A and B are shown apart, each in its own frame.
Chain A
C-alpha cells in the first residue's frame, strides 16, 4: 500500500559523472511521469510512459537524458555527463488509467540532485 518511492532521496556528484535515479510507482499504475523542478520554480515535464506504448520523450532537454521503464513497474532516469544546470529535484509520479483516461498523479518526494 506504499506510495511512489524514489531513490536516492539525495545525490551529490561531480560534474561530468553519470547518475541514475530510480522510481517505484504504485502497483497497478500504468502511467508514469518524470518531472524536473529547479529551486523555487515550477514542474518541467520530462517524459511520460503509458503501458506498453512508446514513451513521450518530448520534454527531455538534451540527449544526455534518457529514461527506461520495465513493463508497468520500476523506471530509471539517467543523466549522462552531468552539468551544473542539471541540479534540481527530479520528481516521479504515477497514475491509474480508467478506461481511456489518465487519472490524477501520485507523486514521490523526489531525488534532490546536486552537481558540484
Chain B
C-alpha cells in the first residue's frame, strides 16, 4: 500500500554478500510491480520490473521474485557493492490502466 508516516527499516549487509530486500504489496489484483532505488538527494530510479504472470526476473546483479499467493515481492542484489547503498522501494500497479503506488521502503547499508 502507500507508505505514509513510516520510518524506513534498515538492512545492513557486508560488502560482497548478497542482499535480499522484501516487500509486501497490498492488492491481489495488481498486475505489474517495480523496484526503485533512491540515492540521497535524488529521485527514485527504476531498477527492474516484473509482470504478474511471471514469478522471477533477472537483470544485471539483481533478481526480482514474485509470490502472488502471499502477495510478496523481493529484490535480490548479488555481490553487494558500496554503490548499492540507497533506499529501495517496491511499487505496484493496481490494473493495467491505473496509477502506480509505492510501498514502504528499505534502507540498504553496506558494511566494509
Contact = CB atoms under 8 A, between A and B. Distances in A.
Interface of A: 4, 31, 33, 35, 38, 40-45, 48, 50, 56, 59, 91, 93, 95, 99-102, 104-110
A102 B4 contact: no
B43 A41 contact: no
Contacts, number: 75
A91 to B, nearest CB: 5
Main secondary structure of the interface of A (DSSP, over half): strand
A102 B99 contact: yes
B99 A48 contact: yes
Nearest to A53: B97
Interface size class of B (residues with CB under 8 A): 20 to 34
A42 B43 contact: no
Interface stretch (B54-62, B64-72, B78-86, B100-108): B100-108
Given A104-B34, A108-B43, A44 B4 contact: yes
Most A C-beta atoms less than 10 A away, residue of B45, B98, B100: B100
B53 interface: no
Contact of B4 (A42, A56, A104, A106): A42
